[in-house]
Each structure stands twice: as C-alpha cells, then as structure tokens.
Amino acid sequence: MESALVKDNPLLFPLNKQKTLYDGFITVLERDFRLRVLLPPDGQLKGARLHCCWQLRQVLQGYEHTVKQRLQQSADLVTFILELKTVLEVGLKSRPECRSIPPPRYYSQLISEMETLGWGRLLFIDTEFRTLRLKAEDSSGRQHVLAVKLKSRHPAEAPECSADLPVPLDITWTPQSTLDQLHSQFLLVLESLTEFWEVLDEIDSKTWILEPEKPSRSDTMRRIAIGMKRDLSFMNQRIHQSGAGSQTPQDAARVLPAGSRARWVGPHTLASEATSGDSSEEQAERQHAPVEPGLRRLAQPPGCFGDRIPVTCHPRKICM
C-alpha cells in the first residue's frame, strides 16, 4: 500500500513508524494542496481524521458529505486519496476562478520573458502576476503605458492589451510570441501616431483649451476659446478611419476634420453669424487643409481676427 501511495502522491509521507500519520501535499490539476491524515492505531479509515489547508477546505465546501462517505467506504488509504482527488478535480472544474490559476510553468515563462524585455520597463504587476503595465517612450520622448492582462495559458492564449491611444490597439499574437515582441509592436503603433500628437501638442500650447480639461493621448477633440463670446469645438474624425484605404495616422494628423465636426459655441446670434457664411465649397476645401491654416480659416467670422489663431489673453478668465 505504501509504495502505491508514494507512487501516486510523491509529496505525501508517513511521519511515524506505525504509518498512522501522513503529511504532505496532493496534486490535482497542477495545483498542490496541503493535507494531513491521522489514522487510529488499528489503521482503519472509519476513525481517521483529516486536516486540510485553507485552500483545500475552500474547494471542498459543499462536498463534505461526499468526503465523509468516501472515508467510510474506502478499503485503504490509497483508495481514499484517489477518491479525494477525484472529488477535488470536480470541485476545481466547477470553480472558474480556481481553474484559471496558472500552472507553475506560467511563472517561469513570465520571468524569462521579462528578463528579455528588461525589468526596467515594468511599471506594475499585480499579486497574481496576471496584470502588467509596461512603459514605452516614442521618438519624441513622450511616455506611454501598455496595459497587458495575461491569460492562464500564456503564451498559448493572446493577452488582452490596452493603451491610451486615439485608434484601436491592433496587436498580432501567436503561441510563440513574447512580451518583448508585444512591446516592439506597441512602439511601432506609437511611431505611427507621433505626428498626430505633435499637431495636437502644438494646438494645446498655442491656444486656450476649454475641453477636455486635461487632454489624454486618446482624445481627438478640442474646444478652443476664440474670443468675442465664442469658442470653437472640433474633432479629428479621420484618425479613427486611418485603417481604411491608404490613409495613415500621419495623413490624418495633417488635416482638419470635416466641417460637420467643427462647430461654434456661444450666443445663438454670434454662432449663427459665424457659420452662415461657411459655404459647402469652403467646407470641402477645409477638409483637406493643414491643421494650423485650417484653424486660422475656421477662426475668421466677421470682425474677429488676424493672421494667428485668436485666443483669449486672460489665462484664468473664461471668455463669455
């Protein structure tokens, strides 16, 4: 019996010569559970007592009657441990949160990939080693963060990735992919958006931005204070269509959005006056105009403006 027990459960050992006290671990679905079995002097399982770790006790919740029944009916300890492991497997498979716990090789794979990528790029990792935040820097020195949520079968399953971007994050992943390759793909996406962000950074630095209050790298809309009780709201909608046709994010960054996405905000009479003279030909021409000249032309309702994008000069005074 002892040889069969050790063969099936190499981490469960007898602690006395009488073989009435066993302590160690049993393994089910690549998870180890601490277990102690105390047999009576006659070695009969009917009078045995079990001491379980809290993880094992948690999985066996609802199966206590079954375990007691198996303890009463099993012929020997080897048979009982086999029955117990069967019950444990059923319990684990019925608990998605337990089933998703990665096997040991997951952690060795993750450590190996991080050593290749460089620990200096790791900003955060949760206590379950499932969610990571990796830092990246584009060619203009802007700092970015790539959030990665790994699956329990990593790298066989593609991770979930997200970042503060104005376009969907399209990542290619295969069972042979690594975090280093993932990070390299992210850098390529950042470079494709560099000019787009440069244009918005220039607008942010040269105008009074009303909305959003704290622009993020995913924001494509700006509301600018113009003066004369008006402000201008516009959105670069083409950046969302950069995957269509031959247009790239760089191309989308150079042009102002269509006229339907630019509107004046202010008193009704002034807003109407600003848009009434905007012909369909002018709107079509503006759709392909560079950003800064396009904004200058937008900001030219009667009586307002020179050769610069007009902005309110009072940094703490809202133009009404």
Mean of pLDDT over the chain: 76
CA gap 42, 40 in Å, rounded: 5
| Least-confidence region, from 72-86, 222-236, 254-268 | 254-268
Class of domain 195-298: alpha beta
| Least-confidence region, from 46-50, 194-198, 236-240 | 236-240
3-state SS, residue 253 = helix
- Per-residue model confidence as pLDDT tens digits over 194-223: 988 998 888 888 888 888 888 899 988 888
Give the H or E element holding residue 117: helix 104-117
Question: Domain residues of the chain, as ranges?
Answer: 2-99, 104-192, 195-298
- Per-residue model confidence as pLDDT tens digits over 119-164: 999 999 998 899 999 999 999 999 999 999 998 889 999 999 999 9
Q: What is the pLDDT of residue 210?
A: 84
* Mean pLDDT of all residues in 6-24: 86
CATH number of 104-192: 3.10.110.10
On the question of pLDDT at 311 being above 80, the answer is no
* Mean pLDDT of all residues in 88-107: 76
| Residue corresponding to tokens 């050992």 | 13
CB atoms within 10 A of CB 248: 15
Q: What is the pLDDT of residue 94?
A: 80
What is the Cβ-side half-sphere exposure of residue 220, based on CA atoms within 13 angstroms? 22
| More confident: 204 or 1 | 204
Provide DSSP, 5-19: HHHH-TTEEE-STTS
For the ranges 95-109, 116-130, 219-233, the one whose mean pLDDT is highest: 116-130
The three-state DSSP-derived secondary structure of 38-64 is ECCCCCCHHHCEEEECHHHHHHCCCCH
State what percent of residues in the chain have pLDDT above 90.
31
User: By C-alpha distance, which of 118, 151, 159, 150 is closest to 135?
Assistant: 118
Give yes or no on whether 104-192 and 195-298 have one common fold. yes
On the question of pLDDT at 57 being above 80, the answer is yes
* Mean pLDDT of all residues in 220-236: 67
